[in-house]
Amino acid sequence: MAHTVPPTIGWSHDDGGSVRMIDQTRLPGEPVMLDCRDVECVARAIERLSVRGAPAIGCAAALGMALAAHRSKAADPHAMLADLRAARERLAATRPTAVNLFWALGEMDRVIDERAADGVDALREALLARAEAIVEDDLQRCIAMGHHALELIPPGANILTHCNAGALATAGYGTALGVIRAAHEAGRGVHVWVDETRPLLQGARLTAWELRTEGIPATLICDNVAGWVIARGEVDCVVVGSDRIAANGDVANKIGTYTVAVLAARHDVPFYVAAPVSTIDYDLASGDLIPIEERSRNEVAMLGHRASAPVCPDIAIYNPAFDVTPHELVAAIITEKGVARPPYDESLAAMKNRQDSSRPREESGRGGPN
Ligand code: MRU
């Protein structure tokens, strides 16, 4: 089928090179593209969620490093390394939870180590080539995840999802929404319950928009309706994405995911997580160690320009962007290398070295740019 979700993020050769992304803060209105011509613009785009979702943040960081090299006026590698160090530091300070950001910066570090001695032009080209490969690989990984997940999604399944783990959150196709897309494309006749996902409404603004754009049957619900539809037997499985998965299978994802996982367990509904292996942080033994971003009080206290809570004098507000679902509640983790089952310390460790099975599938189409 035709996918009409516009490109999430990519390199543009206009104006001597820029990072072009769909500005997700403007959705579900008409898609507006944002062109970043310097690293500060990319960093701010990550911070204010113009580009968001763990894999897309990783792509933005990689392209941001390529942009820093392109914009650097340095004539020798030594001077360029100083510019690249400053860019890296700025990008690494944007958002703490999604490990894909740090994974992508690590990939760019490797290119710098290997190619700096070849001169500034070679280094520029090598950084751009690696960044574009990261974007392309991400798309292929999502398609592979969708393929592997088909074994888990029965015909006619009602699937509940939280936040947006779609084409917009990746280089295209999506992780959790990639699983849903693949099932839809395979003719499984699925229907999606979309949690609106307070406070920033990624479910309502982005997931509902993607599903509507692509003609996948879906119903939008307030977050506090999830328990009711699960209790009434109207949900066959939950599929969500992740920002970071610890080595033991504990899963950080958008705030509210843990609540859904507990509800699913209460009613024997399988809770699945879809994420590329780059989302697994093998250095963290458990989810207790995952840094959780806290965001501005205004995201909770304001609805647009209107106060939705007492602001004078201010009510105390706690606004964590993510929570951690313990591995006991996770029925399976779908990666581009296959489906991992408990015990996760063993199955995820095995994924690390397994041959990458991500590959283009002609019949799958593409949910994104490349
Ligand atoms: O704050 P966000 O919108 O970046 O949070 C995104 C999520 O929590 C997604 O579910 C996660 O990054 C997986 S995206 C494939």
Helices 54-71 and 77-92: angle between axes, nearest 10 degrees = 150
Query: Residue 354: CA atoms inside 13 Å, Cβ hemisphere, count?
Result: 17
Distances 263 to 152, 293, 308, 344 between C-alpha atoms, Å: 19, 24, 28, 21
pLDDT tens by residue, 343-352: 999 999 999 9
Helix, strand, or coil here: 301? helix
What does pLDDT average to over the chain? 94
Domains of the chain: 9-143 (1.20.120.420), 144-353 (3.40.50.10470)
Helices 77-92 and 99-115: angle between axes, nearest 10 degrees = 170
Site to substitute for ligand 1 among 95, 101, 163, most atoms within 8 A of C-beta: 163
8 Å CB contact between 238 and 264? yes
Nearest-CA residue for atom 15 of ligand 1: 165
Told to judge if 243 belongs to the known catalytic residues of this protein, a careful annotator would answer: yes
- The ligand 1 atom at the shortest distance from the C-alpha of residue 57 is 4
Backbone angles phi, psi at 297, to 5 degrees: -65, -25
Q: Which of 195, 243, 281, 323 is catalytic?
A: 243
In this prediction the pTM is 0.94
Higher pLDDT, 212 or 359: 212
Residues with CB under 6 A from ligand 1: 49, 52-55, 98, 163, 165, 169-170, 175, 202, 241-243, 253-254, 321
The pLDDT, as a whole number, for residue 95 is 98
Nearest-CA residue for atom 10 of ligand 1: 241
The pLDDT, as a whole number, for residue 362 is 37
- 122 Cα–ligand 1 center, Å: 34
